[in-house]
């Protein structure tokens, strides 16, 4: 099955899939917004963010607003491309399964 090859292992997780989905349609998003959107704990979200950063799908920008840190995330070109390929693969798989 060549189609399965295009399914990206990194996106084979609800939280990572969610982070990328949100970053595809927003310039940047901060940590708390992601947390609320995906309904996950701090630790859980942080570990998945790290995984995405390691594969260079997202970048992290730290800013100071007063004394508070505000961390924002962006999707990289590489990440956006990988995500698009992943969606295409998902769609093809669904399409194929419907045929069978």
Partner 1 sequence: MKEKDYLKDLNEIKRIMHQSTRFVSLSGITGVLVGIYALIGAFLARQSIINHFNNQSNDIDSLILTLLVIALSVALISVITAYILTKRKAKSNNQSLWNATVKRLLFHFMVPLLAGGILSLELLQMGFYGLVAPITLIFYGIALVNASNFTFSNIKYLGLAEIVLGLIAINYIGYGLYFWAIGFGIFHIIYGTFMYFNERKS
Q: Which residues of the chain form contacts with partner 1 (CB under 8 A)?
A: 7, 12, 14, 17-18, 21-22, 24-26, 29-30, 33, 36-39, 87, 90-91, 93-94, 97-98
Q: How far is the CB of 58 from partner 1 (least distance, A)?
A: 14
Q: Are 47 and 31 in contact (CB under 8 A)?
A: no
CB of 89 to partner 1, least distance (A): 9
Q: 3-state class of 72 per DSSP?
A: strand
State the minimum distance, in angstroms, from the CB of residue 24 to partner 1.
7
User: How far is the C-alpha of 29 from the C-alpha of 33, rounded, in Å?
Assistant: 7
Measured from the CB atom, the residue of 30 and 56 that comes closer to partner 1 is: 30
Beta strands in the chain (DSSP E): 29-30, 58-65, 68-75
Residue nearer to partner 1 on the CB measure, 66 or 97: 97
Nearest by Cα to 42 from 69, 22, 65, 15 = 15
């Amino acid at each position: 099955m060549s189609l399965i090859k295009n399914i990206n292992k990194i996106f084979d997780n609800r939280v990572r899939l969610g982070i990328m989905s949100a970053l595809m349609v927003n310039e940047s998003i901060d940590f708390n917004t992601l947390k609320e959107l995906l309904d996950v704990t701090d630790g859980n979200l942080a570990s998945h963010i790290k995984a995405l950063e390691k594969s260079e799908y997202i970048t992290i920008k730290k800013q100071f607003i007063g004394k508070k840190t505000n961390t924002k995330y962006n999707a990289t070109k590489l990440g956006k491309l990988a995500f698009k390929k992943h969606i295409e693969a998902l769609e093809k798989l669904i399409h194929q399964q419907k045929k069978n």
